[in-house]
Amino acid sequence: MRMIALPSYVNDIAETVRRALAEDIGGGDVTALLVPAAQRAQARVIAREAAVVCGRPWVDEVFRQLDPAVTLDWQVTEGATVAAGQSVFRLEGPARALLTGERTALNFLQTLSGTATAVRRYADAIAGTGCQVADTRKTLPGLRNAQKYAVLCGGGVNHRIGLYDGILIKENHIAAAGGIRAAIAQARALGAGVPLMTEAETLDEVDAALQADVDLLLVDEFADDQLREAVQRVRAHRARGGHTLLEYSGGVTLQTIRALADTGVDRISVGAITKHLHAIDLSMRLI
C-alpha cells in the first residue's frame, strides 16, 4: 500500500507536536534523569488490537524535536491494517529521548489510528455502492487537521476543513436571510471563491438548491421516501448538466449506513468517526 500523501491543509504538525510535548514535559522530564544521559536503547511499539495505522508524521516529529539522533523503522505503511500483537515500528537512540517521547508519540498514534479505524469500518460497510463516507467539523480541539487527515487514511473524504474553505448554508442562515433562495443569492454575491453548499429540510428546498446548482446539497434526517425522491431529483438535475452532489447526515450508525448508501446518495457524513473516539491500544517496550 502506498504512503498516504499529506494534504495541503496539514501544515501545523511541528506546532501541534511542540504544544503536546510542552504539555507533557513542562520544565523537564524528571523521571528520565534516572537514566544515564549517554545510555542508548532500542524499543518497539506493538498494537494490542487490530487497527488502521495513522499518525506517522506526528510520531516522527515528536522524536525529531526531542532528539534527531533517534531513528524510527516503521514496519507498517500509513493507512494499512495491523493485527493484534503486530509490531508497528521500532526505535533506536538515546534512552532518555525514547522514554520522554513515548506517551506523546503514542497519544498521537492511538488517537489518529482510532479515527482511521472507525472510518474504515464505515467505508467497508458501504463498499460497492459508490457512496463515500464524509467527516464533519466535530473534531477534537487542536487536532482538526490531524483528524481530517486520519479520515483520508481510513478511506473517507473530507467535508470542508473549517469555516473558511466552504460556505455551508444551514437552517439558521436560511431563517436569518429570509429563505433558502435569498441565502443562496447572498452567498453567490460574496464571490468568496469557495464551494457553495446548503442544507435542505424539505423537497421544496431541494428544488431551490438544484435550481441554483449548488456544489453540494445536504439533507438532514430525511425519511426514506423523501431521501429517495431527493436522489431522483438530483440525478435528473445532473442529467440536465448540473453538478450538485447529494450528502445525507443525521444519526448515522454502522447499522444504518448501508441502507442509506443504497438509496443512491453520493456521500454520507458521520460525526461519530471523529467525536466518538476509541483510541487504539498500543504499547512501547524497550528491547
Could you write out the DSSP letters of every residue in 144-190?
A: HHHHHHHHHHTT-B---SSTTS-EEE-HHHHHHHTSHHHHHHHHHHH
Our measurement of the distance from residue 129's CA atom to the centroid of its chain's CA atoms, rounded to an integer in Å, reads 21
pLDDT of residue 3: 63
Q: How far apart are CA 265 and CA 232, in angstroms?
A: 10
**Residue 80 — φ and ψ, nearest 5°?**
-85, 165
Question: Does residue 156 contact residue 134 with C-beta atoms inside 8 Å?
Answer: yes
Active site residue 267: no
Whether residue 77 is found in the same domain as residue 159: no
Choosing from 18, 44, 90, 103, the catalytic residue is 103
Whether residue 65 is found in the same domain as residue 87: yes
Whether residue 242 is found in the same domain as residue 185: yes
Choosing from 64, 170, 238, 258, the catalytic residue is 170
Whether residue 153 is found in the same domain as residue 45: no
We report the CATH number of the domain holding residue 81 as: 3.90.1170.20
Whether residue 77 is found in the same domain as residue 140: no
Residue 6 resides in a domain? no
Residue 83 resides in a domain? yes
Give pLDDT tens digits for 40-60: 999 999 999 999 999 999 999
Active site residue 220: yes
Residue 229 resides in a domain? yes
Residue 77 resides in a domain? yes
Whether residue 155 is found in the same domain as residue 218: yes
| Domain enclosing residue 23, as ranges | 13-123+277-286
Whether residue 113 is found in the same domain as residue 136: no
Question: Does residue 268 contact residue 244 with C-beta atoms inside 8 Å?
Answer: no
Whether residue 271 is found in the same domain as residue 148: yes
Active site residue 247: no
Residue 23 resides in a domain? yes
Active site residue 224: no
Contacts 24+ apart (CB under 8 A), 13-17: 13/57, 13/58, 13/61, 13/146, 14/61, 14/65, 16/58, 16/142, 16/143, 16/145, 16/146, 17/58, 17/61, 17/62, 17/65, 17/104, 17/108
Mean pLDDT, each 10-residue run in order, the chain (287 residues): 80 98 97 95 98 98 98 96 98 98 98 98 98 97 97 96 96 94 96 96 96 97 94 98 97 96 97 96 96
Whether residue 153 is found in the same domain as residue 245: yes
Residue 86 resides in a domain? yes
Work out how many domains the chain is built from and give that number: 2
Active site residue 225: no
Whether residue 93 is found in the same domain as residue 183: no
Residue 8 resides in a domain? no
- pTM for this one? 0.95
Choosing from 199, 205, 247, 266, the catalytic residue is 199
Cα 123 to Cα 54, 225, 254, distances in angstroms = 16, 24, 10
Grid cell for residue 91: 526505535
pLDDT of residue 128: 97
Choosing from 18, 90, 138, 228, the catalytic residue is 138
Choosing from 220, 229, 238, 258, the catalytic residue is 220
The three-class DSSP label of residue 55 is coil
Whether residue 217 is found in the same domain as residue 198: yes
Contacts of 263 (CB under 8 A, 6+ apart): 224, 227, 228, 231, 248
pLDDT of residue 1: 46
Residue 38 resides in a domain? yes
Q: How far apart are CA 71 and CA 60, in angstroms?
A: 9
We report the CATH number of the domain holding residue 239 as: 3.20.20.70
Whether residue 138 is found in the same domain as residue 267: yes
